[in-house]
């Protein structure tokens, strides 16, 4: 697992958040151009953050990263590796037979939360 998911997104330091996101992107075999959609921001902004991490990230970006960390941790708790990293690329009936990564790449916050809720329910169930 990457780390304990903070209770509140504001508890995440920008450097930790961006490092964690980079590790998730590597594990999920994402491309650099996927990150802006996952974070709900522009490609230029994401490139700037990785060149020089800001002192503070916007709350909506930290919230998105917090959800991505929770999704990553839930997948590893449910499936373990290596399937946890492959799961995001597999078609899933719960998401209209689309791979979850397609939903994440859409940039929609609702889709991000839906995937997290789905996995939270799986962990409880």
- Is the link from the previous residue into 52 a cis peptide, with omega within 30 of 0? no
* Average pLDDT of span 91-109: 95
Residue 99 reports pLDDT greater than 70: yes
Q: What is the rounded CA–CA span in Å between residue 36 and residue 115? A: 18
Please provide the average confidence, as pLDDT, over all residues in the chain: 89
* pTM confidence score: 0.87
Per-domain residue ranges of the chain:
12-124
The total of other beta-carbon atoms located within 10 Å of residue 116's CB is 17
Where does the pLDDT of residue 54 fall: very low under 50, low under 70, confident under 90, or very high at 90 and above? confident
Where does the pLDDT of residue 4 fall: very low under 50, low under 70, confident under 90, or very high at 90 and above? low
Residue 21 reports pLDDT greater than 80: yes
Helices and strands (H, E) in the chain, number of each type:
7, 0
């Amino acid at each position: 697992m990457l780390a304990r998911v903070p209770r509140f997104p504001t508890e995440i330091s920008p450097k930790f958040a961006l490092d964690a996101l980079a590790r998730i992107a590597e594990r999920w075999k994402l491309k650099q151009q996927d990150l802006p959609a996952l974070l709900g921001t522009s490609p230029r902004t994401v490139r700037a953050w990785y060149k020089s991490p800001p002192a503070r990230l916007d709350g909506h970006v930290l919230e998105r990263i917090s959800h991505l960390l929770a999704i990553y941790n839930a997948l590893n708790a449910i499936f373990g590796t290596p399937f946890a990293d492959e799961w995001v690329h597999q078609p899933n009936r719960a998401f209209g037979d689309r791979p979850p990564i397609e939903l994440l790449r859409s940039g929609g916050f609702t889709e991000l939360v839906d995937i997290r809720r789905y996995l939270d329910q799986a962990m409880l169930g």
